[in-house]
Chains A and B, each alone.
Chain A
């Protein structure tokens, strides 16, 4: 695939924005949010060094959307092409996870598919890991090698732009006057930067090193009390599931309009007490600790069994956001230690 160089981001982003709506990161209050790109804005575009606070799922699976109209069906959803700039490898992996759910063959979600088809993905390398990033524990990396249309790597005096799809390749070809050849040695500089971030990530998470695969640990923790203990800090705000780029629970609700009815699709949270309750009042997960456990099981065991990948990318947003100070890494480490002592006790017998 084509790899090119630019010394400034602005002309490149202006070119993208000419073709489609473009969303870029904006720094605010110590983290990044998305804003619509304005080519005439005074401040220069920023390249986020870490993941943006909001998740990419909001572009593909909005918090609330119209799912159906009846008695007479509405026209199918049509989305104009749009681009998102500043996604990280963890975001791309979260798209891979959502793709499995919403694009699987037997039941496809036309709303998701329409948005996905029209999204132009511009990712970038992480310059430094955030303190709660733990993608390395889930085979992730601070840079993307697939899943993007274009990827940006910051280097000395500029940026390396790499195409990762036909769409990306075409964009570079179409705008060749904007791009230069990658100066010598810059590719090796990129590799060095990547290795440095990777190393820092590993150092940050060294204390959470596990002895077994996360699946094995979680699967064998069905009887652990750690979930109830961990749940003690939880205030049931559901922020972890909202901010999670891979959580995709939703509920359907109906509304009445003037002369028609709608079915809406809205985010839901498995951490909500009545989430699994049925009309008769039965509820398999009345207890908060059971909900914490189910969420972890879903992420690291059930999803893996069904789709072959973990449903967590280690972005650490849930840790950033938790009002109760819950940390997935600490919980995994605790379960790891419990399982270790269980195994040791068994071996000693």
Chain B
């Protein structure tokens, strides 16, 4: 009997954490353990309403529950933001390739993130930190619109900064309150001296415009297109490479991605739109 790939497993929202004015993290408990690779995504169904793709932001080591950080951006995300704990949900997946962590071994990992793009990055970060000795270093450059817009503030401003082997810098587009850090888009805190480019991989996740200019900056620094890993956000619907909505050229983002090297997709039109 062929398994039905359209069948969600049942789950429940066990907790909801306000991250920023537009972003919440939903702690979802599936009815049975649910494993995934960091960077893979799930289709989260709000029963009777619809489903949307999200990359869990928790560590894949945790399989009894997962964190899904969601920005209010459209119909489904708007409805999810109105949900209370105890809400029943459906989960399909995990889908896609995830980050090729093993290929990052003994190299410097240069992570550039922006806004809600820190959600997949948090999962990656926790995975890297778990085996930090395998990597030469982990260098993070994160940005948000304002200090309030940073998600995971507690750990971001605290514990993560102190991890041995991690170098982190933050920036905001517009400062307010007591922000003492850099002001400017994320590319203003990138420097060719941050890492040894020849022995580094870059991971970029954030809004399309940020990913575009970060990629161009990294190329300018001398990164090879094959060493720039991009988490592409497209309209993934079926999750299994059939329905066609998420195509970038010949690739199905849901199946061949969502993580692509710039080398793979640079020839295709409108990848940043």
> Please, how many angstroms separate the alpha-carbon atoms of A301 and B7 in the complex?
32
Residues of A close to B7: CB separation below 8 A = 68, 70, 73, 263
Instruction: Report how many residues on chain A are interfacial, defined by Cβ distance under 8 Å.
Output: 50
Q: Once the chains bind, are A251 and B47 in contact (CB under 8 Å)?
A: no
Docked-complex contact A297 and B73, CB < 8 angstroms: no
Residue of B nearest to A270 (CB): B244
Report chain B residues within 8 Å CB of A70. Answer: 7-8, 10, 45, 47, 90
> CB within 8 Å of B: which residues of A?
67-68, 70-71, 73, 76, 101-102, 106-110, 113, 222, 248-256, 261, 263, 265, 268, 270, 275-280, 282-286, 290, 293-294, 297-298, 301-303, 305-306
Q: Does B6 contact A (CB under 8 A)?
A: yes
Q: Judging by beta carbons under 8 Å apart, are B208 and A282 in contact?
A: yes
Q: Which of B217-253 contact A (CB under 8 A)?
A: 233-235, 237-238, 240-250
Please tell me which one of the listed residues A254, A265, A302, A305 contacts residue B51 in the complex, with CB atoms under 8 A apart: A254
Residues A284 and B245 in contact in the complex (CB < 8 Å), given A70-B10, A279-B52: no
Identity of the chain B residue whose Cβ is nearest the Cβ of A298 in the assembled complex:
B247
Distance between B266 CB and nearest chain A CB, rounded to angstroms: 13
A-contacting residues of B (Cβ < 8 Å)?
1-8, 10, 45-52, 73-77, 88, 90, 207-208, 233-235, 237-238, 240-250, 255, 269-271, 273
The answer to whether A280 and B235 have CB atoms under 8 Å apart is: no
How many pairs of A and B residues are in contact by the CB < 8 Å rule?
133
Q: Are B238 and A252 in contact (CB under 8 A)?
A: yes
- With beta carbons under 8 angstroms apart, the residue of A101, A254, A256, A280 that contacts B242 is A101
Contact partner, B250, options A73, A109, A290, A301, Cβ 8 Å:
A301
| Assembled-state Cα–Cα distance A70/B6 (Å) | 11
Name, among A101, A280, A286, A301, the residue most crowded by chain B CB atoms within 10 Å (CB to CB): A280
Bound state CA distance, A293 and B244, in angstroms? 15
CA of A305 to CA of B248, assembled, Å: 13
Q: Quick one: closest B residue to A304, CB to CB? A: B250
Give the CA-CA distance A68 to B47 in the complex, in Å: 12
Q: A107–B256 Cα gap in the complex (Å)?
A: 13
How far does the alpha carbon of A71 sit from the alpha carbon of B47 in the complex, in Å?
9
Q: What's the least CB distance linking A257 to chain B, in Å?
A: 8
Quick one: which of B1, B245, B249 contacts A251, CB cutoff 8 A?
Answer: B245
Whether A250 contacts B242 by the Cβ 8 Å rule is: yes
Residue on A with the closest CB to B48?
A256
Residues of A within 8 Å of B270, CB to CB, are 284-285, 290
Q: Is the CB of B73 within 8 A of A67?
A: no
B235 contacts A276, C-beta separation under 8 Å = yes
Question: Does the CB pair A71–B10 fall under 8 Å?
Answer: yes
Q: How far is the CA of A252 from the CA of B92 in the complex (A)?
A: 12
- Judging by beta carbons under 8 Å apart, are A263 and B249 in contact? no
* B residues less than 8 Å from A302 (CB atoms): 247, 249-250
